[in-house]
Structure 1
Amino acid sequence: MASALTIKAALRWPVRILIIWLMLVSQVSLSADMAKVVVMTSYPQEVVSQFEAAFEKQYPQYKLEVLWRQSRDAMAYFKESGQPVDVYWTPAQRNFAQLEKMQAFQPLNLDLDGLPAEVNGFALREGNHIATEIAGYGIVSNPQALTNAGLTIPRNWTDLSHPALKGKIALPVPSKVGYAPLLIDILLQGYGWQAGWNLLQAIAANAELVTSGATFVSDDVASGRLLAGLTIDFLTASAIANGAPLQFVYPELTGYSPAHLAIMKNTGNLEGARAFSKFVLSEQGQRLLFHPDIRKLPVRPSVYANKPAAYFNPFEDNPSFVYDTRRGFARQDITNALFDAIITLNLASLQKAVSAIQDASNQSGPDASEVVKATQLLHSLPIDEAGAEAIRTLNPAEVTRWQRIMHDRYEEAAKIASPH
């Protein structure tokens, strides 16, 4: 009996092996029929996975292969690697500008009907690259912590300068935090050079500086240690989606950071690259940006007709402020250095001067001579806008000189405001 069972089992093995072999052959055949589309991105897994699944469902003939690279690593890869990339898709504006100069992109040759060329001055397509979503700048706050402190939710940048918020604001440093240079320049262009720096000084007087780890803004505000911060929407959105007690407000004067897509000149699969690009910009692809794990702002205005409740629409209003993107990028290194000289490297002296002026104003009134004189000195910048924009090469010695000038002016302003 045992012998008969053994024989039957042995006879069944070839059949099992044949089935397994057929399955492997069919999988290899299926893989051979699916063309690979190589996409380089810095987007996190929760973003990419949504697009990957939806794209492969709509285009079953293609298989997405994702190369994750941060901005600096991506440029090194493009310059040094001979391996082809089909699509570059990421929020790294300066990389796209540099790659355009290198003539690294194919013409898109896509139907762009329904896709605007700009929003409030922020270009959504230039050369051979196009924006696929935009992130908006604004204020994150902790409503319950503010209520407990007897304060209201800040809704405009100027609200962050209120003395009651002293020590409770998170302010990112543009030379250290990736999204911050554009944020700072939005205030400089929106309010004007002098008024913009005055406001930044006033906010800094209430602030802790964020020099790395941009998510620290949301973390510190969510914990209640800080009450509000200047940030970009998607960082707060992910925190809120994970249960953080936060609220994000887009001030009336705001701006956007577009993320772009381009087809590489050395693509090994041009049709697949165009299929993926077309999908990301399509109604279906753009609606994926509303997903709770993503929460980005689509660049196709028509999809906002079905947006989630209270979802911000950057195309609804036409504010008088229109940002000059080219001007902002051209002077970015200078404004970053000025921020460090005026604020980062002189924060203690700045806060001391502002505190002294506030005390003098409370005691003698805002029109008192010492208050006026100290305030004028506080706001006396080391260089005007025309001078800053005329600089072609940033000299570290000049930045040090700016720092010393502002330090001396802050110290003198504090003495004038509190002579005793």
Structure 2
Amino acid sequence: MALFSSSPTRRSLLIGAAPAAFALTCGLSPRARADNAPLIVVTSFPEELTTRYEREFERRHPEAHVQFVWKHSRDALALLSGPDQGGVDVYWAPSPNFPLLRDQGALRPIVVDRAVLPGRVGNQSLSDSSGMYEAYDLAGYGFALNPSLLRERGLPEPKSWGDLASPIFADQIVVPIPSKVGFAPALYDVILQAEGWERGWAIVSELIANARLVAHGRGPAAAVEEGEAPIGLTIDFLALSARANGAPIAFAYPARTAFLPSNIAVTSSTRKFDTAKAFVDFVLSCDGQKILLEADSVRHPARPDAYRPTGSEARINPFDLRRENIFDYDFDLGRHRPGIVRALFDIAFATRHAEVTTLWRSIHDAEARLGNATGKDAERIAEARRLAGSVPVSTRQADRAEYLAQFAGRDAPDAEIMERWNAELAASRATAIALLHAAFPG
């Protein structure tokens, strides 16, 4: 029997389950509707996974029936923020909506056993401290690697984000454009939080000069898999999935990385709390979490005991990583930053990639010529380096939700802000070039 199966009616359920459920029960009293209606679960997980959970949950609870409604994050937020929350009982997704819904009072507390569901990995907290939602699975960020290509080109395996800024990795890296790739804003924000806003952008700027930019989520892992580049910045499951299917690819988590969870929660308006709680309990149980280890899934359970034993060379257990390698990523700050990361990356790097590459290679050449010398030329080159890695947004601004709110939508950022950023970037880079010429004329 296949581990993941599908029903011929599944697609219609995913698109319109909640309205259909209401139509079928509209003549009943509220109590009768609650007793007879299916459990409505809003999710963005793939059908193969949700079908597996539906079958196993209903086998354990034959009196219950689950219907899934598939929604992107924005549509899910609108539904769950609306009247009666659209009749939804459970929300289960990899989405930034959970803290917003918590703050709206749209979720009910759930109780978990912290002895088996620690709600953290390494030094990083995962679950809501107020108990309104719980981590279901984890996805981490780091390096897709082609080991044979690294050996062939005489390159070391990078151990940190900053390693990729070294000139030895020129033309050896593929990175995603955050305005084009869904996971990429979080990937870059992990670097920015791990290293600090200013140093983080300096690292990103310098490694961008070593990289090829791609506009497709599979791009970095695919380039590494196909031997086009030895290193790609990506989310782990894309590389691990390729590896599980026999690709000559590895994945490494750098020092000071983070894992972002998918979450599950019960809505505040559910009329089926006992069934909703039973579904959440199953999803978070050891048996429920082990479903993540089946077939082609390379997702990471949020429950450590689900990994024993794995029996898969492709499986990485985040709970076995060195604690100090995983820092305490600030989810609340991170959920406000995707817009500004997209906007800054586009104006500073995506539209100026050749310029950035030339500038950093000039800096590397100047530093090589300078060697260990000190004095005015060393000061000029150091200032050129600082300017090349700077962005026109301060740490204070980047930490303020009010400032970040300007970039929250998918609409183009304010033209006046873009014009000011453009001018500041142009001035900084022109000054950097002038300093390099002053240090080494001609």
How does the TM-score come out when normalised to structure 2? 0.78
Tell me whether 1:204 sits opposite 2:233 in the alignment.
no
Q: 2:135 aligns with which of 119, 124, 131?
A: 131
- Per the alignment, residue 17 of structure 1 pairs with none
Say if 1:346 and 1:407, in contact at 8 Å, map to a contact too. Answer: no
Q: 2:424 aligns with which of 396, 402, 405?
A: 405
User: Following TM superposition, by how much is the alpha carbon of 1:269 offset from its aligned partner in structure 2, in angstroms?
Assistant: 3.0
- Per the alignment, residue 71 of structure 1 pairs with 73
User: Following TM superposition, by how much is the alpha carbon of 1:113 offset from its aligned partner in structure 2, in angstroms?
Assistant: 4.8
1:254 counterpart letter in structure 2? T
Q: 1:262 aligns with which of 248, 260, 265?
A: 265
Structure 2 vs 1, CA of residues 371 and 110 (structure 1 numbering), >3 Å: closer, same or farther?
closer
Tell me whether 1:318 sits opposite 2:313 in the alignment.
no
- Per the alignment, residue 288 of structure 2 pairs with 285
Which whole-Å CA distance do the structure 2 matches of 1:215 and 1:101 have between them?
34
Tell me whether 1:363 sits opposite 2:355 in the alignment.
no
Tell me whether 1:186 sits opposite 2:190 in the alignment.
yes
User: Following TM superposition, by how much is the alpha carbon of 1:331 offset from its aligned partner in structure 2, in angstroms?
Assistant: 4.6
1:357 counterpart letter in structure 2? I
Tell me whether 1:166 sits opposite 2:170 in the alignment.
yes
Tell me whether 1:216 sits opposite 2:219 in the alignment.
yes
Say if 1:349 and 1:407, in contact at 8 Å, map to a contact too. Answer: no
Structure 2 vs 1, CA of residues 51 and 155 (structure 1 numbering), >3 Å: closer, same or farther?
farther
Deviations for 1:37-79, whole angstroms, at most 9, x for unmatched residues?
Answer: 3222111133223323322332233333222222123224335
Say if 1:47 and 1:293, in contact at 8 Å, map to a contact too. Answer: no
Structure 2 vs 1, CA of residues 155 and 290 (structure 1 numbering), >3 Å: closer, same or farther?
farther
- Per the alignment, residue 372 of structure 1 pairs with 382
- Per the alignment, residue 32 of structure 2 pairs with none
Say if 2:176 and 2:219, in contact at 8 Å, map to a contact too. Answer: no
Which whole-Å CA distance do the structure 1 matches of 2:163 and 2:213 have between them?
18
2:133 counterpart letter in structure 1? H
Which whole-Å CA distance do the structure 2 matches of 1:277 and 1:103 have between them?
19
Say if 1:241 and 1:293, in contact at 8 Å, map to a contact too. Answer: yes
Tell me whether 1:145 sits opposite 2:149 in the alignment.
yes
Any idea what SS the aligned residue of 2:156 has?
A: coil
1:221 counterpart letter in structure 2? V
Any idea what SS the aligned residue of 2:108 has?
A: coil
Say if 2:387 and 2:432, in contact at 8 Å, map to a contact too. Answer: yes
Any idea what SS the aligned residue of 2:352 has?
A: helix
Any idea what SS the aligned residue of 1:152 has?
A: coil
Q: Percent identity?
A: 35
- Per the alignment, residue 13 of structure 2 pairs with none
Q: 1:337 aligns with which of 330, 343, 357?
A: 343
User: Following TM superposition, by how much is the alpha carbon of 1:135 offset from its aligned partner in structure 2, in angstroms?
Assistant: 0.9
User: Following TM superposition, by how much is the alpha carbon of 1:109 offset from its aligned partner in structure 2, in angstroms?
Assistant: 4.8
Structure 2 vs 1, CA of residues 390 and 70 (structure 1 numbering), >3 Å: closer, same or farther?
closer
- Per the alignment, residue 57 of structure 1 pairs with 59
Deviations for 1:331-385, whole angstroms, at most 9, x for unmatched residues?
Answer: 5544443333433333222111001112223334364535334223323443431
Say if 1:40 and 1:68, in contact at 8 Å, map to a contact too. Answer: yes
Say if 1:185 and 1:328, in contact at 8 Å, map to a contact too. Answer: yes
Tell me whether 1:121 sits opposite 2:120 in the alignment.
no
Which whole-Å CA distance do the structure 1 matches of 2:220 and 2:99 have between them?
28
- Per the alignment, residue 11 of structure 2 pairs with none
Tell me whether 1:352 sits opposite 2:362 in the alignment.
no
User: Following TM superposition, by how much is the alpha carbon of 1:129 offset from its aligned partner in structure 2, in angstroms?
Assistant: 1.2
- Per the alignment, residue 396 of structure 2 pairs with 386
Which whole-Å CA distance do the structure 1 matches of 2:169 and 2:79 have between them?
45
Say if 1:345 and 1:403, in contact at 8 Å, map to a contact too. Answer: no
Which whole-Å CA distance do the structure 2 matches of 1:187 and 1:305 have between them?
31
How many residues get paired?
386
How does the TM-score come out when normalised to structure 1? 0.82
Q: Which moved more, 1:196-205 or 1:262-271?
A: 262-271
RMSD: 2.8
1:39 counterpart letter in structure 2? V
Gaps of 5+ in 1: 1-32
Any idea what SS the aligned residue of 2:335 has?
A: helix
Deviations for 1:102-127, whole angstroms, at most 9, x for unmatched residues?
Answer: 32223325555522233323331344
Any idea what SS the aligned residue of 2:386 has?
A: helix
User: Following TM superposition, by how much is the alpha carbon of 1:141 offset from its aligned partner in structure 2, in angstroms?
Assistant: 1.7
Say if 2:81 and 2:106, in contact at 8 Å, map to a contact too. Answer: no
Structure 2 vs 1, CA of residues 253 and 388 (structure 1 numbering), >3 Å: closer, same or farther?
closer
- Per the alignment, residue 8 of structure 1 pairs with none
2:385 counterpart letter in structure 1? T
User: Following TM superposition, by how much is the alpha carbon of 1:268 offset from its aligned partner in structure 2, in angstroms?
Assistant: 4.6
- Per the alignment, residue 107 of structure 2 pairs with 105
Gaps of 5+ in 2: 1-34, 407-413
Tell me whether 1:233 sits opposite 2:236 in the alignment.
yes
Any idea what SS the aligned residue of 1:371 has?
A: helix
1:275 counterpart letter in structure 2? A
- Per the alignment, residue 42 of structure 2 pairs with 40
Deviations for 1:363-420, whole angstroms, at most 9, x for unmatched residues?
Answer: 3436453533422332344343124334724354234312321223223423443542
Say if 2:42 and 2:88, in contact at 8 Å, map to a contact too. Answer: yes
User: Following TM superposition, by how much is the alpha carbon of 1:255 offset from its aligned partner in structure 2, in angstroms?
Assistant: 0.1
Q: Which moved more, 1:130-139 or 1:230-239?
A: 230-239
2:258 counterpart letter in structure 1? G
Say if 2:108 and 2:266, in contact at 8 Å, map to a contact too. Answer: yes
Q: Which moved more, 1:267-276 or 1:134-143?
A: 267-276
1:400 counterpart letter in structure 2? E
Which whole-Å CA distance do the structure 1 matches of 2:111 and 2:384 have between them?
59
User: Following TM superposition, by how much is the alpha carbon of 1:183 offset from its aligned partner in structure 2, in angstroms?
Assistant: 2.1
User: Following TM superposition, by how much is the alpha carbon of 1:276 offset from its aligned partner in structure 2, in angstroms?
Assistant: 1.2
User: Following TM superposition, by how much is the alpha carbon of 1:257 offset from its aligned partner in structure 2, in angstroms?
Assistant: 0.6
Which whole-Å CA distance do the structure 2 matches of 1:386 and 1:272 have between them?
45
Q: Which moved more, 1:72-81 or 1:404-413?
A: 72-81
Say if 1:169 and 1:226, in contact at 8 Å, map to a contact too. Answer: yes
